[in-house]
């Protein structure tokens, strides 16, 4: 697995010096993720250099930089940890309580009137509480990013990140819920029991096949929207990428041969949404017989890895296996989405050099483009469930927002998420979700 390492490097302030240092980095086969000047004297510039490095001993990269006569590593930065200091979210009041009259209205004795009103008419909770703007982000930490089963507590920084994105991009309150159990029945009962606290439930980083059982049971049991983001959020953005890619090459996505490498939670979610959209030629591969049987149950066909690569117009890989796809397997003109994070099955630049028409990884085709608007739209429409029509509306909107030949728009444009929210809400009302 590759992780970001931030080095502080002093480089002589002279023509060509920075280029020499970066050349030394490149000759080590290292990807530069960021470069920013921190300070400058008359003779030296201090650069913050972010590298994507494999876990382990990083001295070889530092030695390569120090071997350049005009550069020297002076230390490392804890920028990532600094930004996590104290956590990324907190709860605060929407109003200032600065007088006794406000205190008595929002707490005792005035609050009793609101409680009584909701007791008589539970729908009033949607008007007089934050319920319709609150999403539970539920995990047991069994499938966190590319880290695997690290447990719910270690997965909390990811859940806080989701909550921060909910607030920033859609104005929703996300609340991390950590459940210490691998038993699907425990997850189901726990979430069902706390569901009255929330307007919707986002299931996150729960490993397959338990994730399918948990989601299905909660969707049947609860009258609020429930969505496993690793399945459906990823599927929405993958479909958006497919729509954009096929538009650029002039092919009807419904007639395209789409190959899937990896049929876990994300792969199955993508396959089901592609089928709902109308794609009829799906071929997939996985090491699990159970996963292949599940894939075939909704119309997918099984093949070998080499067969999928040889026959598909579009490749969507979600295996979590870095470097799985060999460059020589890429056919000229293919569209390749290697979506595993943090390390893709094939680097986009490698796929492009091998002849791919378009190539992207999970940093670009990422569910951050999907889940904020999906939940905001569902909650705005007071939907009781997510429907395929809502997911497809989100994917079509994401694709339509892409500009200048890009597959998807930038993830931090609030206008994009607002458009997705409206499209999902409209689809929810049209499909009586």
Last residue of a domain, one of 28, 59, 84: 84
In a domain, 29, yes or no: yes
Q: Helices 265-277 and 289-297: crossing angle, nearest 10°? A: 20
pLDDT attached to residue 57: 66
Q: Which of 327, 352, 367 is the last residue of a domain?
A: 367
- What CATH number is given to the structural domain containing 191? 3.40.50.10380
Report how far Cα 157 is from the mean position of its chain's Cα atoms.
Answer: 14
Residues 411 and 421 in one domain: yes
Please report which confidence band the pLDDT of residue 100 belongs to, taking 50, 70 and 90 as the band edges.
very high
| Residue 236 shares a structural domain with residue 363 | yes
- Mean pLDDT of the 216-240 span: 96
Taking residues 118-141, report their average pLDDT: 96
Asked whether residue 374 falls in the same domain as residue 337, the answer is no
How far, in Å, CA of 159 to CA of 204, rounded? 8
- Active-site residues, by number, are 107, 162
Instruction: Tell me the percentage of the chain whose pLDDT exceeds 90.
Output: 80
* CATH number of the domain that residue 327 is part of: 3.40.50.720
**C-beta of residue 313 within 8 angstroms of C-beta of residue 356:** no
Tokens 């569910």 found at: 367
Pairwise CA distance, residues 198 & 174, whole Å? 9
Residues 206 and 245 in one domain: no
| Same domain flag for 347 and 400 | no
Are residues 284 and 253 part of one domain? Answer: yes
Confidence of residue 125 (pLDDT cuts 50, 70, 90): very high
Residues 254 and 290 in one domain: yes
Residue 217 is predicted with a pLDDT of: 98
Residue 32 backbone class (left: φ over 0; alpha: ψ -120 to 50; beta: rest)? beta
Instruction: At 49, list the tokens.
Output: 């250099």
Is the same domain home to 340 and 307?
yes
Q: Would residue 90 count as lying in a domain?
A: no
Is residue 56's pLDDT more than 70?
no
Question: Could you identify the residue written with the tokens 């939907």?
Answer: 383
375: which 2 tokens?
A: 């939940």
Higher pLDDT, residue 209 or 342: 209
Which residue shows structure tokens 């998807």? 408
Q: How, if at all, do strands 314-317 and 335-338 pair?
A: parallel
| Of the ranges 22-31, 48-57, 82-91, 390-399, the best mean pLDDT one | 390-399
Does residue 89 lie within any of the structural domains?
A: no
CA distance 191 to 84: 27
Question: Could you give the CA distance from residue 116 to residue 314 in angstroms, rounded to a whole number?
Answer: 57
User: Which of 405, 403, 398 has its CA nearest to residue 424?
Assistant: 398
Give me the chain's average pLDDT, please: 93
Q: Which CATH number covers residue 21?
A: 3.30.70.260
Asked if residue 213 and residue 243 are part of one domain, the reply reads: no
- pLDDT tens per residue, range 324-339: 999 999 999 999 999 9
Confirm whether 215 is domain-assigned: yes
Handedness of CA 310, 311, 314, 316 (dihedral sign): negative
Question: What's the whole-number mean pLDDT along residues 137-156?
Answer: 93
Residues 103, 135: one domain?
A: no
Residue 34 lies in a domain: yes
- Looking at 53, 84, 115, the residue that finishes a domain is 84
Domains of the chain: total:
5
Residues 102 and 48 in one domain: no
In a domain? residue 74: yes
Instruction: Specify if 92 maps to a domain.
Output: no
Sign of the CA dihedral 165, 169, 174, 180? negative
Do 245 and 216 lie in a common domain? no
For residue 279, being part of any structural domain is answered with: yes
Mean pLDDT of 212-221: 97
Report whether the peptide linkage leading into residue 189 is cis, meaning its omega lies within 30 degrees of zero: no
Which domain covers residue 119, as residue numbers?
97-129
CB 173 within 8 A of CB 166: yes
């Amino acid at each position: 697995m590759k992780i970001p390492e931030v080095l502080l490097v002093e480089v002589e302030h002279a023509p060509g010096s920075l280029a020499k240092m970066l050349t030394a980095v490149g000759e080590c086969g290292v990807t530069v993720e960021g470069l920013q000047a921190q300070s400058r004297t008359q003779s030296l510039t201090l650069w913050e250099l972010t590298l994507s490095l494999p876990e382990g001993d990083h001295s070889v990269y530092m030695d390569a930089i120090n071997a350049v006569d005009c550069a020297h590593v002076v230390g490392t930065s804890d920028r990532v940890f600094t930004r996590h200091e104290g956590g990324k979210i907190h709860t605060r009041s929407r109003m200032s309580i600065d007088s006794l009259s406000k205190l008595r209205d929002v707490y005792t004795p005035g609050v009793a009137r609101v409680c009584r009103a909701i007791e008589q008419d539970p729908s009033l909770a949607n008007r007089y509480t934050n319920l319709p703007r609150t999403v539970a982000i539920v995990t047991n930490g069994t499938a966190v990013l590319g880290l695997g089963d690290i447990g719910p507590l270690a997965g909390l920084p990811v859940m806080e990140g989701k909550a921060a994105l909910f607030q920033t991009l859609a104005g929703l309150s996300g609340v991390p819920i950590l459940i210490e159990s691998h038993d699907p029945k425990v997850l189901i009962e726990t979430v069902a029991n706390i569901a009255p606290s929330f307007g919707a439930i986002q299931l996150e980083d729960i490993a397959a096949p338990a994730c399918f059982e948990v989601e299905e049971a909660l969707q049947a049991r609860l009258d609020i929207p429930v969505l496993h983001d690793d399945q459906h959020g990823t599927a929405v953005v993958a479909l958006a990428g497919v729509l954009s890619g096929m538009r650029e090459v002039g092919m009807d996505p419904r007639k395209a041969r789409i190959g899937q490498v990896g049929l876990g939670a994300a792969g199955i979610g993508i396959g089901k949404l592609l089928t709902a959209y109308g794609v009829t030629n799906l071929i997939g591969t996985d090491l699990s017989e159970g996963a292949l049987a599940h894939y075939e149950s909704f119309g997918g066909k099984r093949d070998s890895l080499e067969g999928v690569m040889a026959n598909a117009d579009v490749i969507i890989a979600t295996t979590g296996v870095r470097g799985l796809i060999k460059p020589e397997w890429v056919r000229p003109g293919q569209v390749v989405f290697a979506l595993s994070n943090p390390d893709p099955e094939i680097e986009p630049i490698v796929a492009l050099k091998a002849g791919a028409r378009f190539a992207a990884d999970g940093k670009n085709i990422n569910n951050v483009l999907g889940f904020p608007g999906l939940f905001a739209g569902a909650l705005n429409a007071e939907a009781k469930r997510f429907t395929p029509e809502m997911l497809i509306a989100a994917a079509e909107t994401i694709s339509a927002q892409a500009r200048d030949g890009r597959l998807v728009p930038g993830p931090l444009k609030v206008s994009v998420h607002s458009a997705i929210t409206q499209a999902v809400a409209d689809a929810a009302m049209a499909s009586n979700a």
